[in-house]
Amino acid sequence: MAISNSILHEVRLFEEKGKTDVNKYLKPSFHITAPIGWINDPNGFSLYKDEYHLFFQYHPFDIQWGPMHWGHMKTKDFITWQHLPIALAPDQSYDKAGCFSGTAIEDGGKHILMYTGTAEEIQPDQSTIIKQMQCIAIGNGLDYCKLDNNPVIDETLLPDGCSMEDFRDPKIWKEEEAFYALIANRSEDGSGQLILYQSLNLKEWKMCSILIKNNNEYGKMWECPDFFKLDDKYVIIVSPQEMQAKEYEIHNGNGSLYFIGDYDKNEYSFKRELTGVLDYGLDYYAPQTVETKDGRRVVIAWMQTWDNNINPNYFSWSGMMTLPREITILDGKIYQKPIKEIENYRHNPKQYSNYELSGQLSLPEISGREIDMEFEVISGNYQSVEIRLAANNEFHTSIIYNNTTNILTFDRKYSGLRKDVVCERQIKIGYENLKLRIIVDKYSAEVFVNDGEKVLSSLIYTTLEAQNIVFLVEGTIMVNINKYDIIVEQDD
């Protein structure tokens, strides 16, 4: 499939040239990052011809957000990724202000991308109207052509009173002979809702229902919906904006929630049974899932939020994704664990079994900035335990567990930041003993608590010379520690 569009051709050349100036050894080794410029939401996470494709919101010309393109990568194992040329550029009247987020499926040997086109229209009084519309591009895993009749869903298919400016991020899937799209929208009450549409040919669509409404319960606008069956339940994922804090569960600003319930395919209705938080960390937004060939449900997200941009301004790239995770339902809520394929990249194992920790100490060979470490308290009489990551005499990031209050704290205030941003987050743990799995990849830490019941994802842009791991215990504990180096050679 030849690319004749000059705008897309030029931006592909720009990206290819810019990548040669980036020192890959200063970038994370097994997390997706921007080739150059800026990335945010993951898009089009999908299986196509036995490979997993991930697209992403992308502004290659600057390390700040700008007119959105779709960057593109693929993988066979979720750990090593191959960069592919940019898939979409804002080059049509209906997407000239940006090709916003969306999803993808394989159908009939073709790779179908569904995305939000955004356009700004100047009115006679010089005011500006922003319109968001749903569009489709079809390709072969490398090159994509936008449909001639785009946009396929616009404001004419919205219920009365709903926003045409906040109408985005379609989740597309196919059941039997029909295609469906679940699209985020701002309702007449100013908060989010998800609208379900159906098509038989990808070109003509009709509205089926408003599947779920926020009713101003969780923030305002909901972004980046996902919808899938997991075991015998259905799951909706959304990323609410402008949330207000609720104890240890909901934090202020932008976050990601899931709803577990039942879906009636005949009535196009969803009955919510449980609401949960997908990630409790400082940097997590816009998750998107894919079903693997062996039936696992895998989720990936942008490891940042809009209010907390701490990317160093001397980097030539901005933004990274979380490590892909496998999600399951256990005891009625979602559990997450790191993608199992990471175990193929574990090297240099170091184990401490039934080992006593007290006071402040470091352990031989327990260090590094590209690691997978399991830490379990098996017994002890103690008030607190702290693990300091990416540590030296000047910097560290702390994971602190208070055994009296059962509060786990992630704190990066001493990580080298020079911006006044959120640095601390706390969660409540309902277990007597602590079990953590900590994955660090240079500038990030992902903490899986008690076998993935809760997860915290956060960025730590500490200088890479800070390699130490330090333990501080008020009291005495007996622990099991398993630590591995993760060694990955990424695509240039």
pLDDT tens for 148-163 read 999 999 999 999 999 9
CA 411 to mean position of chain CA atoms: 21
Report yes or no: 363 and 483 within 8 Å, Cβ to Cβ. Answer: no
pLDDT higher than 90, residue 266: yes
Predicted confidence at residue 1, as pLDDT, reads 45
CATH topology classification for 346-485: Jelly Rolls (2.60.120)
Kindly indicate the confidence band of residue 2, based on its pLDDT and cuts at 50, 70 and 90. very low
**CATH number of this structure's domain 6-341, picked from the four choices 2.115.10.20, 3.40.50.300, 3.50.50.60, 3.40.109.10:** 2.115.10.20
Which residues are within 8 A (CB) of 126 and not within 5 positions of it... i.e. 6 or more apart?
none
Please determine, for residue 474, whether its predicted confidence score (pLDDT) is greater than 70.
Answer: yes
* Mean pLDDT value of segment 161-166: 94
Q: Indicate the pTM of the whole model.
A: 0.96
pLDDT digits (tens, 9 = 90+) for 422-461: 999 999 998 768 999 999 999 999 999 999 999 999 999 9
pLDDT number for residue 127: 80
The strand ranges marked E within 362-434 are 370-391, 397-402, 407-411, 424-428
What's the chain's average pLDDT? 95
Contacts of 387 (CB under 8 A, 6+ apart): 375, 398, 399, 400, 436, 438, 469, 470, 471
What mean pLDDT is predicted for residues 214-243?
Answer: 96
Q: What is the pLDDT of residue 491?
A: 62
Q: For 63-88, how does the pLDDT look when each residue is reduced to its tens digit (9 = 90+)? A: 999 999 999 999 999 999 999 999 99
In which band, very low, low, confident or very high, does the pLDDT at 232 lie, cut at 50, 70 and 90? very high
- Where do the domains of the chain lie? 6-341, 346-485
**Whether residue 3 has pLDDT greater than 60:** no
Q: Is the pLDDT of residue 177 over 60?
A: yes
Common-topology check for domains 6-341 and 346-485: no
Catalytic site residue from 21, 41, 160, 372: 41
Predicted confidence (pLDDT) at residue 492 exceeds the cutoff of 70: no
Establish whether 41 is a catalytic residue.
yes
